[in-house]
């Protein structure tokens, strides 16, 4: 193919055009002018509709026509301008060639390290958050176990990744395990691994568990409060003895890992209730890092809002620059039970629906909370037992959240302030499709 351009080489030598918010082409590169010279006139401003043969896709890569010539194009953004970079220009482009090119680019993107977050990625100016980031940074330099606590959606995994990235283990693996998302019967084989023939359906060569995959690095155990009791005992031995035994195995393997655990529950209360091992609790409780909720750091709401607006402007090709006063007041007054995760979902919804530079209250506002409807929820009546009433109210709340989120389960879970795995379990329980 002619004119194949590497994505990293976005320079003046590339064929590109820059478009303003009115879809007017304000700049074209010399190479673009050379390639399409016979179609260009120099005494007028080109409209994007004159160049594109069909409406643009919102994807970062898209196939379209420039003056009838098929091209593969990459969309970037520089402030309020959109930059269309011509990656391939060829009159005989084949669908398979386009597909292969995009696939290779996506593979390169996916091969990047998943734990590239640092403390600079944790957005906020509040004294509470700054203090927590400073403490976490000091903790990161050790190899001690860390317990991160905080409500759902506060960014516990982001802190865990930042700790790993500032530690001496930063070049080694960061392996995350969601303890609530793995069925109890599969937990041991997934986390500790298994040997050949350990159970029916086991791989012939066996399989290393998450602990082995984290060798020399960091093992992040999210929602550790959901860890089965039997697995708690095995994890305690890993912390004490620094060795593991695969399911069905007879030998032990030495492991050198740092464990960072996270929970949105009070582990001490679970210990008192007999639902969490006390000895494991104190092994984890070397450093306790409590992440503040969003309502405890209201100074961070607007910085986060504009950070998410910028993010979704880029990914959704929007041009939001401001928020109206009504939205600003609501953002600062709302309690944010889903914390940063809920705020991010709200801004994504608003930016997606926006068609101009101002993000309004009507585009973002959650019009009705579950509790506002539960009082009159269908199926709840004076003859219901307390358990039946609670179950019906819970089912109604889930249905409302799913409707508001247009079926997006992650956003619905954030609205309900529950873990995504918990939402799936409750949907199965109440047979909600």
Low-confidence ranges of the chain (pLDDT < 70): 1-14, 23, 39-64, 68, 70, 77-83, 87-116, 197-202, 366-389
Answer with the one of 47, 75, 110 that is the final residue of a domain. Answer: 110
Query: Given this model, what pLDDT does residue 277 score?
Result: 94
pLDDT per residue as tens digits for the range 177-199: 888 877 777 778 888 888 776 66
CA distances from 28 to 12, 33, 55, 289, 368 (A): 10, 7, 20, 51, 48
The position carrying tokens 């691994």 is 193
Residues 271 and 320 in one domain: no
Q: Specify whether 420 is located in the same domain as 358.
A: yes
Closest residue by Cα to residue 178 from 160, 198, 196? 160
What's the structural domain count of the chain? 3
Nearest to 358 by CA among 307, 320, 304: 320
- Decide which of 275, 292, 309 is a domain's last residue: 292
CATH number at residue 391: 1.10.8.60
Distance of CA 147 to the CA centre of its chain: 21
pLDDT of residue 244: 85
Distance CA 370, CA 405 (A): 12
* Pair (137, 229) in one structural domain: yes
> pLDDT digit string (tens) for 138-159?
999 988 999 999 998 999 999 9
**Rounded to 5°, angle at Cα 153 from 152 and 156:** 85
What is the pLDDT, as a whole number, of residue 391?
77
Q: Which domain holds residue 416?
A: 297-429
Q: What are phi and psi of 236, to 5 degrees?
A: -60, -40
Same domain, 125 and 207: yes
**Between the CA of residue 385 and those of 258, 378, 382, what are the distances in Å?**
48, 14, 8
């Amino acid at each position: 193919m002619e004119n194949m351009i590497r994505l990293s080489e976005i320079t003046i030598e590339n064929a590109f055009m820059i478009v303003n918010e009115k879809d007017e082409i304000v700049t074209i590169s010399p190479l673009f002018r050379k390639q399409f010279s016979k179609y260009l006139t120099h005494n007028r401003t080109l409209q994007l509709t004159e160049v594109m043969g069909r409406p643009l896709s919102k994807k970062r890569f898209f196939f379209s026509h420039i003056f009838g010539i098929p091209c593969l194009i990459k969309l970037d953004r520089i402030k309020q301008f959109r930059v269309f970079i011509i990656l391939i220009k060829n009159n005989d482009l084949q669908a398979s060639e386009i597909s292969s090119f995009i696939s290779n680019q996506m593979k390169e993107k996916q091969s990047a390290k998943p734990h590239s977050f640092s403390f600079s990625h944790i957005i906020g100016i509040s004294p509470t958050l700054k203090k927590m980031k400073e403490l976490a940074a000091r903790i990161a330099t050790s190899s001690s176990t860390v317990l991160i606590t905080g409500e759902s959606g506060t960014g516990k995994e982001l802190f865990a990744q930042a700790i790993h990235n500032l530690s001496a283990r930063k070049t080694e693996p960061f392996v995350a395990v969601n303890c609530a998302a793995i069925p109890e019967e599969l937990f041991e084989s997934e986390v500790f691994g298994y040997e050949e023939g350990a159970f029916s359906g086991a791989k012939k060569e066996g399989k290393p568990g998450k602990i082995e995959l984290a060798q020399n690095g960091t093992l992040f155990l999210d929602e550790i409060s959901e860890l089965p009791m039997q697995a708690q005992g095995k994890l305690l031995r890993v912390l004490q003895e620094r060795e593991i035994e695969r399911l069905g195995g007879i030998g032990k393997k030495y492991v050198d890992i740092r464990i960072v655990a996270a929970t949105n529950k009070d582990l001490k209360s679970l210990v008192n209730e007999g639902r969490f091992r006390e000895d494991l609790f104190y092994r984890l409780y070397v450093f306790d890092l409590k992440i503040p909720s969003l309502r405890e750091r209201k100074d961070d709401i607007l910085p986060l809002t504009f950070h998410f607006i910028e993010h979704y402007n880029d990914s959704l090709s929007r041009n939001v620059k401001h928020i109206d006063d009504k939205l600003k007041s609501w953002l600062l007054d709302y309690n944010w039970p889903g914390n940063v995760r809920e705020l991010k979902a709200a801004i994504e919804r608003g930016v997606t629906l926006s068609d101009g530079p101002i993000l309004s209250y009507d585009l973002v506002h959650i019009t009705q909370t579950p509790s506002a409807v539960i009082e009159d929820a269908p199926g709840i009546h004076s003859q219901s037992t307390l358990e039946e009433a609670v179950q019906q109210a819970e089912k109604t709340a889930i249905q409302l959240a799913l409707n508001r989120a247009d079926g997006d389960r992650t956003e619905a879970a954030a609205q309900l302030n529950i873990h995504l795995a918990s939402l799936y379990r409750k949907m199965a329980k109440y047979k909600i499709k």
